[in-house]
């Protein structure tokens, strides 16, 4: 069993989309039972909320159901609970590393775009919260490819 946690700031835009895309791709591969996939936010202020309506709408056009409720990242549960903790942007990774107490916790933290296969000017999945529709489409484009790279890294493709 492999356990993967996607982390962004609010857990209402990027990381719930990553969770939904990862689950959909695993389902297509028939590997969903081999993984635990979840998402969380370094900022817990949206806890309990459904994902941002703009993300839900743009993702649903691509066939993804983005419907996990927001929750905060909990260091004491999530560091032992997951093998790979994937930050969407550099600030997320910095915040997660600050919460890690030991090297074995720190070593679980990686950056989503490090899995992106091929050329791209983007080194982070940009925060779409204050952006228009294009920002959400860009996040979905980046996540679909980066998660393909992640699946390859995990030996699933």
13 is catalytic: no
Min CB(30)–ligand 4NP separation in Å: 29
* Contact of 6 with 112, CB cutoff 8 Å: yes
Indicate whether 129 belongs to the interface with ligand 4NP (CB under 6 A): yes
Min CB(141)–ligand 4NP separation in Å: 15
8 is catalytic: yes
List CB contacts of 92: < 8 A, sequence separation 6 or more: 7, 8, 9, 42
- Among 6, 11, 38, 40, indicate the residue that binds ligand 4NP (CB under 6 A): 11
Nearer to ligand 4NP, 38 or 127 (CB): 127
Please tell me the distance from the alpha carbon of residue 104 to that of residue 101, in angstroms, as a whole number: 9
Nearer to ligand 4NP, 23 or 70 (CB): 70
Min CB(118)–ligand 4NP separation in Å: 23
Neighbours of 157 (CB within 10 A): 12
Indicate whether 93 belongs to the interface with ligand 4NP (CB under 6 A): no
Nearer to ligand 4NP, 47 or 84 (CB): 47
Min CB(31)–ligand 4NP separation in Å: 26
Please tell me the distance from the alpha carbon of residue 139 to that of residue 13, in angstroms, as a whole number: 9
- Among 10, 86, 147, 150, indicate the residue that binds ligand 4NP (CB under 6 A): 10
Please tell me the distance from the alpha carbon of residue 107 to that of residue 84, in angstroms, as a whole number: 9
17: which 2 tokens? 């989309």
Integer angstrom CA distances of residue 48 from 8, 15, 127? 15, 15, 20
* Contact of 22 with 7, CB cutoff 8 Å: no
Interacting residue ranges for ligand 4NP, rule: CB under 6 A: 8-14, 41, 127, 129
Catalytic residues: 8, 14, 127
């Amino acid at each position: 069993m492999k356990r993967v946690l996607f982390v962004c700031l609010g857990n209402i835009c990027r990381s719930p989309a990553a969770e939904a895309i990862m689950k959909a791709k695993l389902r297509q591969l028939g590997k969903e039972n081999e993984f635990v996939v979840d998402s969380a936010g370094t900022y817990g202020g949206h806890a309990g909320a459904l994902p941002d309506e703009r993300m839900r709408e743009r993702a649903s056009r691509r066939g993804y159901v983005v419907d996990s409720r927001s929750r905060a990242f909990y260091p004491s549960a999530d560091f032992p609970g997951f093998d790979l903790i994937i930050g969407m942007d550099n600030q997320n990774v910095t915040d997660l590393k600050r919460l890690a107490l030991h090297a074995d916790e720190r070593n679980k933290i990686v950056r989503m775009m490090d899995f992106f296969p091929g050329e791209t000017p983007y080194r982070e999945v940009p925060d779409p919260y204050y952006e228009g529709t294009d920002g959400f489409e860009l996040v979905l484009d980046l996540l679909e490819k980066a998660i393909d790279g992640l699946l390859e890294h995990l030996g699933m493709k």
